[in-house]
């Protein structure tokens, strides 16, 4: 009697058993690797369609806070008749600080804000129009903070000279908006006036054609601020 057929059958069974064992081993190794990789921090880049502000924050440290030596933001938390600005106010809100801005300035800012919104950028307002009384109070606060009238003058003008009191200046809030304006503002006639105040913008209609004028280092270099 021949033993060839049983021998082959046994061999096939052995190969099948070995293959099954290898398959199980591979599956176990794959599961372990997947678990290990899942614990690693993601290094994926932000999606290309992410809002502008998110992309900027992912690429660089936070820059939307005011510089360390900047004056306090005019955000006491409630809108008032003197021009106080509540947190989260935008250029489209109907509060005195916004509504009492010069009409041409407000129009230019709102047109720019509308276009910026298409890129995910919102124009918040830190300060706009101010009453004389409010400006006087801000100046007193600045003198107390900086220790002298001369140092305070680098940040806060008098009620007689401040473009805010005249409704001719707006302090735009948050880094994404000021960054957008620094690149595109001239096309709307909106110009940064002082090198130490990247948030302070005024209307210069001629900038649409010729670009914004050179900035003053700070308000003390502005002839308008001289007594």
Residue 101's domain is classified under what CATH number? 3.30.1380.10
**Residue 43: its pLDDT value, please?**
32
Enclosing domain of residue 70:
53-225
CA-based torsion, 136, 157, 161, 86: positive or negative: negative
Q: Do 84 and 125 share a domain, yes or no?
A: yes
Q: Do 24 and 59 share a domain, yes or no?
A: no
Q: Do 24 and 129 share a domain, yes or no?
A: no
Q: Do 130 and 70 share a domain, yes or no?
A: yes
Low-confidence stretches of the chain (pLDDT beneath 50): 1-11, 18, 28-29, 32-77
**Residue 1: its pLDDT value, please?**
44
Please tell me the distance from the alpha carbon of residue 83 to that of residue 97, in angstroms, as a whole number: 4
Query: Per the structure, how many domains does the chain have?
Result: 2
Q: Do 35 and 57 share a domain, yes or no?
A: no
Whether residue 48 lies inside any domain: the answer is no
Q: Tokens for 101?
A: 């801005």
Give long-range contacts, CB 8 A cutoff, 24+ apart: 89-97: 89/124, 89/125, 90/122, 90/123, 90/124, 90/125, 91/123, 91/124, 91/125, 91/170, 91/172, 93/125, 96/129, 97/125, 97/127, 97/128, 97/129, 97/130
Q: Do 7 and 117 share a domain, yes or no?
A: no
Residue 126, classified by CB atoms within 10 Å of its CB into exposed (0-12), middle (13-18) or buried (19+), is buried
Residues in the chain: 227
Q: How far is CA 72 from the centre of its chain?
A: 18
Closest CA to 157 of 176, 142, 175, 170: 142
Q: Do 68 and 166 share a domain, yes or no?
A: yes
Q: Do 6 and 93 share a domain, yes or no?
A: no
Whether residue 109 lies inside any domain: the answer is yes
Q: Do 37 and 63 share a domain, yes or no?
A: no
Beta partners for 172?
125
Q: Are 163 and 169 in contact (CB under 8 A)?
A: yes
Please count the other Cβ atoms lying within 10 Å of the Cβ belonging to residue 194.
19
Q: Does an H or E element contain 133, and which?
A: helix 132-146
Q: Are 74 and 126 in contact (CB under 8 A)?
A: yes
Q: Are 119 and 89 in contact (CB under 8 A)?
A: no
Please tell me the distance from the alpha carbon of residue 38 to that of residue 118, in angstroms, as a whole number: 36
Q: Do 97 and 13 share a domain, yes or no?
A: no
């Amino acid at each position: 009697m021949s033993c060839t057929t049983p021998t082959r059958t046994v061999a096939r069974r052995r190969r099948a058993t070995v293959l099954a064992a290898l398959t199980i081993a591979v599956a176990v190794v794959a599961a372990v690797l997947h678990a290990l990789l899942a614990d690693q921090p993601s290094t994926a880049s932000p999606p290309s369609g992410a809002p502008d502000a998110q992309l900027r924050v992912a690429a660089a440290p936070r820059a939307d806070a005011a510089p360390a030596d900047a004056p306090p933001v005019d955000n006491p938390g409630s809108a008032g008749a003197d021009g106080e600005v509540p947190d989260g106010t935008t250029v489209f809100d109907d509060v005195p600080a916004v509504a009492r801005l010069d009409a041409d300035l407000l129009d230019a800012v709102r047109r720019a804000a509308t276009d910026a919104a298409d890129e995910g950028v919102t124009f918040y307002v830190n300060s706009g129009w101010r009453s004389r009384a409010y400006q006087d109070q801000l100046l007193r606060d600045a003198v107390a903070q900086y220790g002298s009238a001369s140092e305070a003058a680098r940040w806060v003008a008098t009620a007689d000279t401040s473009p805010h009191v005249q409704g001719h200046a707006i302090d735009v809030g948050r880094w994404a908006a000021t960054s957008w304006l620094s690149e595109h503002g001239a096309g709307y006639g909106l110009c940064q006036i002082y090198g130490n105040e990247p948030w302070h913008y005024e209307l210069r209609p001629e900038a649409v054609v010729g670009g914004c004028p050179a900035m003053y280092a700070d308000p003390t270099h502005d002839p308008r601020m001289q007594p």
